[in-house]
Amino acid sequence: MDAELLELQRQFEFAQQAKSSIRLSDRNVVELVQKLQELHIIDFDLLHTVSGKEYITPEQLRHEMAAEINKSGRVSLIDLADVTGVDLYHVEKQAQQVVSENPGLMLIQGEIISESYWDNVAEEINERLQECSQIALAELATQLNVGSEFVASMLEARLGTLVKGRLEGGQLYTPAYVARVSAMVRGAARGITVPTNLSVLWGTLQQLLHEMDGASGVAVESSFFQSIFNGLVKEGEVLGSLRAGVHWTPTVFATAQKECVDSFFSQNSFISYDTLNKLGISQPVQFLLSRYPEGLPMITAFAHPSLIEMLDSAVEDAIERVAGKGDG
């Protein structure tokens, strides 16, 4: 029995090593594969390579695509088609499945990019940010060949972790720079004692920063100042009221207004609308009625009922005196 097995083995090895005198042409192979598919002997999909000399299954194509993506983290579909030797149409079709099966991948503008790639990019951006204090998103978008909106969303997901900074108005700033500008905004806002258009204030701060930092200084948008200011107002660090987003009336001014009006009105029982206009109160009647609902608005002034009563009494006395003299 062992001898027979050894003989069979020898014959098998000989058959394997023997060169066949019959060779199939590429066309014969294609026709053979097509026939096997028609007979359902090959019951799975096969894709032609661009050269027409090889077949590849969709599964193998996806495997090779994934391998290329793992190498660099970012690869275009055109490059994948070149590497795999498969028509771009098939690569695009399989790319959808590759991305859908892997939550760590995304398809953007004809490229497959991994989350790990963006993590590495974020770390590089952070290193650069700490050196120069500020980076424009438009600049990053150009360098990375993606849209600014995508760069913003990518960075927002990594702020506080891989990226130590603050994203505001299309710019990325370091925490140290944000703290510096916040201190400037806080100091300037607390120094305001009269109604002010904040746009003018932001222009002044921009000029101040430029003078302090020189040509190498960071360009700060007005929206950044405004965002910091809004945060200070919300936190109660600066007090006042904001109208139309830029018209700021500090509490100290509003308090002084009210005290001035109260003092004059309590002493005289009336006050003219012109006086309120000079104090910066644009709607004097509404302002006075809100503070003295019992008051009486007239054409040019606002009076307390007691003044009207006093005037009525004086008029009646005068009428009586005149009437008394007439009777005498």
Residue 135 burial by Cβ neighbours in a 10 Å radius (0-12, 13-18, 19+): buried
* pLDDT in the model for residue 56: 82
| 31/81 same-domain check | yes
| 46/79 same-domain check | yes
pTM greater than 0.75? no
Range scoring the smallest mean pLDDT among 33-47, 258-272, 312-326 = 33-47
Number of domains, the chain: 4
- Asked if residue 108 belongs to a domain, the reply is no
| 36/72 same-domain check | yes
Tell me the pLDDT tens digit for each residue of 122-165.
999 999 999 988 899 999 999 999 999 999 999 999 999 999 99
Range scoring the smallest mean pLDDT among 151-165, 172-186, 208-222, 236-250 = 208-222
Q: Could you tell me which residue, 186 or 33, shows the higher pLDDT?
A: 186
Alpha helices in 58-197 (DSSP H): 58-72, 77-84, 88-101, 115-132, 137-144, 148-156, 175-190
Say how far residue 74 (Cα) sits from the centre of its chain: 24
Let me know: does 141 contact 148? Beta carbons within 8 Å: yes
- Asked if residue 319 belongs to a domain, the reply is no
- Asked if residue 183 belongs to a domain, the reply is yes
- Asked if residue 237 belongs to a domain, the reply is yes
Tell me the pLDDT tens digit for each residue of 9-20.
676 576 556 565
Instruction: Kindly state the tokens that stand for 302.
Output: 């606002």
Kind plus residue range of the DSSP H or E element containing 296: strand 296-297
Residue 43 scores a pLDDT above 70:
no
Tell me the pLDDT tens digit for each residue of 226-251.
999 999 999 999 999 998 989 999 99
Domain finish residue from 102, 124, 144: 102
* pLDDT in the model for residue 24: 57
- Asked if residue 129 belongs to a domain, the reply is yes
- Asked if residue 292 belongs to a domain, the reply is yes
Q: What is the CATH number of the domain that holds 141?
A: 1.10.10
- Asked if residue 327 belongs to a domain, the reply is no
**Strand pairing of 301-303 and 296-297?**
antiparallel
The parent domain of residue 90 ranges over 24-102
- Asked if residue 4 belongs to a domain, the reply is no
Let me know: does 294 contact 265? Beta carbons within 8 Å: no
Residue 23 scores a pLDDT above 70:
no
Long-range Cβ pairs for the range 113-119 (8 Å, 24+): 113/73, 113/74, 114/69, 114/70, 114/73, 114/74, 116/73, 117/72, 117/73, 117/74, 118/154, 118/158, 119/158, 119/162
| 236/302 same-domain check | no
* pLDDT in the model for residue 168: 87
